[in-house]
Amino acid sequence: MLDAILNFEILRNTFYTGLIVGLLAPLLGTFIVVRRLSLIADGLSHVTLAGISFGLFMQKQHTLLLLTPFHTGIIFSIIGSIVIENLRGVYKAFQEIAIPITLSIGVGLSVVFIALADGINTDIYAYLFGSVAAVSRSDLYLILITAVFVITVIIFLYKELFALSFDEEFATVSGIRAKVIHYLFIIMTALVIAASIRIVGVLLVSALMTLPVATAMRVAKSFKQTIIYSIIYGEVAVIIGLISGYYLEIPPGGTIVITSAILLGSTLLIKKWYLAYIYKG
C-alpha cells in the first residue's frame, strides 16, 4: 500500500484524512460519551446523508455545480446540529428525543433525494460504508481547515467543556456561558462527522466516535488520559482498517470498526484477567 500511497494522490488524501479523523472523532467522542450523547453521531450522520443525497440530486439536475455532495452534506449536518440543540432546549425533560426526531427526518430526506437522483449507485455506496478512494484534494483542504478549527476550540475551551460535561449547574454558576459552548460543540461535532463520512461512511461514523472512547475508559485513570488513549485507539483502528480494507477490497468503514471492536474486546478481556490476577495475588 505504501507504493500506492506514494503514487496515487487520491489514496494519499484518504490516508491523511484517515489520520485526521482518527484524531478528531475520538477527541470529540470523549466529551460526547461522558455527556451521554453517544447517539448524537448517528442522528447527525443521517442528516449528513440527506445533504449528500441532495447534492447528488442537484448534480444530476446540473445545478449547484459549485457545491459538491460533500459540501451539501456539511451544510445539512450543521443545520441538523442546530436543530438538535434547539430541540434539546424545547424537550428539557426528554432531551434524548431530539436525536430520533433528527435521525428519522434525515433518513426520510435521504430516501427521497436518493430516489430522485439515481437510486443506490456507487457514489451512495461509498458514502454509506466509506471508501479508500474518495477524498479529493479540495476535500482534504476542507477537512484540514475543520481540524485546525476543532483543535483550536478544544485547546481554548477545554476547561469549560470538561466542567460542563461533568456538572452543568456548577459550570453555569461559575460563569461559563453554557448555551454558546453547547452550540459551538455540536457544530464541531457536525463538521467532524461530515469529514469522517468520507472514510468510515454514514452507517459507521458513530462507531469511530464511541468505540475508541469505550476502550480508553477501561484503562485510563483520568479524563486527560481518556482523551489520549481514545485518540491512540482511534488512530490504530484507522491505520489497520485502511490498510486491510485496501488489500481485502472491503470498504474501510467495515474494517476500521471491526478493528475498533477487536481492540475493545481484547482490552476488556485483558483488564478482566489482570483484575483476577491482582485479586488472586
Partner 1 sequence: MTNLITVNGVTHRYDKHKVLEDVSFSIKKGSFIGLVGPNGSGKTTIIKLMLGLEKLQKGTVETFGKPIEKFHNKGHISFVSQKANSFSRGFPATAKEVVSMGLTSKVSPLRPTTKKYEYMIFEALDRVNMMEYANHNIGDLSGGQQQRIFIARAIVNNPSLLILDEPTVGVDTENVEQFYQLLSQLNKELGITLILVSHDIGTITTHVTDLLCLNKSVHYHGNPSDFEQMTDEQRSTLYGHDMHTITHEH
* Nearest CB to partner 1, comparing residues 169 and 249: 169
Total number of residues that touch partner 1 (CB under 8 A): 27
Q: Give the Cα separation of 61 and 113 in Å (integer).
A: 12
Task: Rule CB under 8 A: choose which of 3, 122, 222, 281 binds partner 1.
Answer: 222
Distance CA(13)–CA(152), nearest Å, equals: 22
CA–CA gap between residue 258 and residue 262 (Å, rounded): 6
Q: How far apart are CA 48 and CA 53, in angstroms?
A: 9
- Asked if 228 touches partner 1 (CB under 8 A), the answer is no
What's the min distance (Å) between Cβ of 33 and partner 1?
A: 9
One of 8, 91, 125, 166 touching partner 1 (CB under 8 A): 166
278 is an interface residue for partner 1 by CB under 8 A: no
Which residues, including other chains, have CB under 8 Å from residue 199's CB and lie 6 or more apart?
14, 17, 18, 21, 130, 131, 134, 135, 238, 242, 252, 253, 256
Which one of 60-68, 125-133, 216-224, 262-270 is the stretch in contact with partner 1 (CB under 8 A)? 216-224
x-marked contacts with partner 1 along 51-90 as a string, rule CB under 8 A: ----------------------------------------
16/149 with CB nearer partner 1: 149
d(CA 87, CA 99) in angstroms, rounded, equals 9
Does residue 36 interact with partner 1 by CB under 8 A? yes
Alpha-carbon span 18 to 14, nearest angstrom: 6
Q: Give contact residues for partner 1 (rule: CB under 8 A).
A: 34, 36, 155-156, 158-160, 162-163, 166-167, 169-176, 217, 220-226
